[in-house]
Chain A
């Protein structure tokens, strides 16, 4: 197949809400090794095997009305709008959000007997994206992507497509998900949650912990952007077609997504300076991801600094890939790569250069970020940082 090069898209600014805080606190927490995992307090967890997670204890400003997912998005939007303006006609500003769970907590409440029609509508997984679009006055396309835990990567790719197709002049894109009974119960039943700390790529790793958050970036066509924190050079997604919940043992979908994203970005393995791995700390994921990176990047794989930030934040599901993309761009700007919190004893099967113990001085220009999710979803982003 003949592949067409795609135009890079500018990432103008970022805004987040995480268990560590806004963008500044997120970054400083990552480089100082802050552990954002705590006992969950917002809903009962006593009946679960594991009651820990990356919970946001308090939002700076709680709005009346709106579900928790929307509240997180509004908080991330406040952070974003403190750093950039939506200076385009409202009908030319789009919103593209990724989520694994949408408004499922509202669904729980509706099914528990809350008769509110508003509650029912908010239970649809695209409810929070429309709530954010209304809040921001964006009247362009409002899309919701749900490629499970790869959603926050796919959403940036779809947002870039809207800009390239001139369907919008600006797009607020990203991902979000909340901690709630529904998801805690599900992962608890699957026994995916660890009672230890999250240890990506560690020999003793025994599972993930969930986190919550919202991460947004403002995207524009590169030629239109007056300033930027970086550029999205390439994106791809691919399916495994092997299992509803587990990754393909050979990682074929992930390998395909990485190859296509690199081709779209017109960069080769030799150009990649940093890899932000999905790194959930499940025994299977980290081994498969390592093997795929070695296969696709070849000899270069062992020379590239790599990390996973899930040891610090937990797995923030739909927000994770956008948070990781923002981390890549901040690493370029600040000249520091955060370390992989929780990694202490290397697994012989995970033998790449995961930055351990302490942050490392490095200023990656081109970063690769990988994501996987339920349903055989895989996505890869190739990002270029805008060094100071």
Chain B
């Protein structure tokens, strides 16, 4: 089988811990707040004592996915699970902390790399399969979902996690300067999709216009950058639509699309 499908999506946002928690209208719900922050549950254990909030969010999103799919962590452990991680900016707060010497200790520097988030997720869940990290907003997540379908089609994995994390609070002043890139409210989020072999053929192409799901995710969640396509998937599934789906995502003037269709 060379097709694929999305088996489950886990979502954690500043609005709550599932897609169901999203308000009907994010702008109205924000009531003028520029950033809707999220405090992830602290993962237990000594290993997490230095982990950043972004890392904790990544772990929380995978846990939400496993709950949604009614799976235990052993179901994804090992080298047959690929991890594709996407973020536009979830390294900003750790970079800022390092630059300002808030965290100038030897051990903080590795956490300034975008690869720290998937590293902590991979360690926590024992993921040792194919590993891709993309930087960008929603268009990059479409690229990441496409990468997941390729890895499945080539037989390099049996399942793929596509994880996105975005945080804004620590760099709110910088985001306020980049108004043409983002529209408030900026909603901190983490989301993870489980992509598995399935009946649908994935077609990857530039998209001329936003899909209805892109518009819905934007309206209900607000600005979530790389998390937006995964939130869109979660909303589709929450509405009972687990079949063919068309996703789009835009970033820096480029809109990418991925359509899961019948063969």
Contacts and interface: CB of A to CB of B under 8 A. Distances in A.
Contacts of B91: 125
B99 A165 contact: no
Given A241-B127, A260-B156, A375 B116 contact: yes
B132 A143 contact: no
A237 B105 CA distance: 30
A147 B131 contact: yes
Interface stretch (A15-23, A100-108, A358-366): A100-108
Given A125-B91, A243-B123, A147 B106 contact: no
Contacts of B154: 3-4, 6, 264
Interface in A127-145: 130, 141-145
A377 B131 contact: yes
Contact of A2 (B132, B135, B155): B155
A54 to B, nearest CB: 20
Contacts of A377: 115, 131, 133
B106 A190 contact: yes
Interface in B172-189: 174, 177-181
Contact of B99 (A107, A154, A242, A245): A107
A260 B156 CA distance: 8
Interface string B99-133: 11000111001111111101110110111111111
A375 B118 CA distance: 7
Interface in B72-118: 79-80, 83, 88-89, 91-92, 95-96, 98-100, 104-106, 109-116, 118
B161 to A, nearest CB: 11
Interface in B198-250: 204-206
A304 B117 CA distance: 36
B136 A120 contact: no
Nearest to A191: B106
A374 interface: yes
B147 A147 contact: no
A301 B131 CA distance: 26
B158 interface: yes
B105 A375 contact: no
Contacts of B128: 238-241, 252-253, 256
Contacts of B252: 126, 130, 142
A141 to B, nearest CB: 7
Contacts of B112: 104, 182, 186
Contacts of B104: 185, 189
Contact of B95 (A2, A104, A376): A104
A4 B177 CA distance: 47
Contacts of A123: 92, 174
B7 to A, nearest CB: 17
Contact of B119 (A121, A191, A244): A244
A148 B111 CA distance: 12
A372 to B, nearest CB: 11
A146 B131 CA distance: 11
A154 B118 CA distance: 15
Interface residues of B, number: 63
Interface residues of A, number: 65
A68 B256 CA distance: 29
Contacts of B132: 145, 147, 154, 158, 237
A126 B178 CA distance: 14
B37 interface: no
Given A125-B114, A236-B130, A186 B136 contact: no
A338 interface: no
A83 B178 CA distance: 37
Given A110-B174, A186-B112, A239 B135 contact: no
A332 interface: no
Contact of B83 (A144, A239, A260): A239
Contacts of B30: none
Instruction: Determine which residue in A147, A189, A239, A374 has the highest number of CB atoms from chain B within 10 A of its CB, and name it.
Output: A239
A145 B154 CA distance: 20
A253 B131 contact: yes
Given A142-B254, A146-B114, A241 B88 contact: no
Contact of A189 (B109, B118, B131, B181): B109
Contacts of A110: 174, 177
Contact of A117 (B115, B119, B147, B178): B178
Q: Of A117, A241, A243, which is in contact with the most chain B CB atoms at under 10 Å from its CB? A: A241
A242 B123 contact: yes
29 contacts: A1-B158, A2-B155, A3-B156, A91-B206, A107-B96, A110-B177, A111-B96, A124-B88, A126-B135, A141-B256, A144-B135, A145-B132, A146-B113, A165-B146, A165-B150, A185-B109, A186-B112, A187-B109, A189-B105, A237-B131, A238-B79, A238-B131, A239-B128, A241-B128, A245-B110, A253-B131, A374-B119, A375-B119, A376-B115
Q: Which 8 pairs of residues, A with B, have the shortest CB-CB distance? A: A375-B115, A186-B109, A239-B131, A375-B119, A245-B110, A241-B122, A3-B155, A144-B135
Given A126-B88, A189-B109, A374-B110, 18 more contacts: A107-B92, A110-B177, A121-B178, A125-B135, A126-B252, A143-B136, A146-B113, A147-B133, A154-B132, A161-B150, A189-B105, A189-B106, A238-B129, A239-B130, A239-B131, A245-B110, A374-B113, A377-B131
Interface of B: 79-80, 83, 88-89, 91-92, 95-96, 98-100, 104-106, 109-116, 118-120, 122-123, 125-136, 140, 143, 146-147, 150, 153-158, 174, 177-181, 204-206, 252, 254, 256
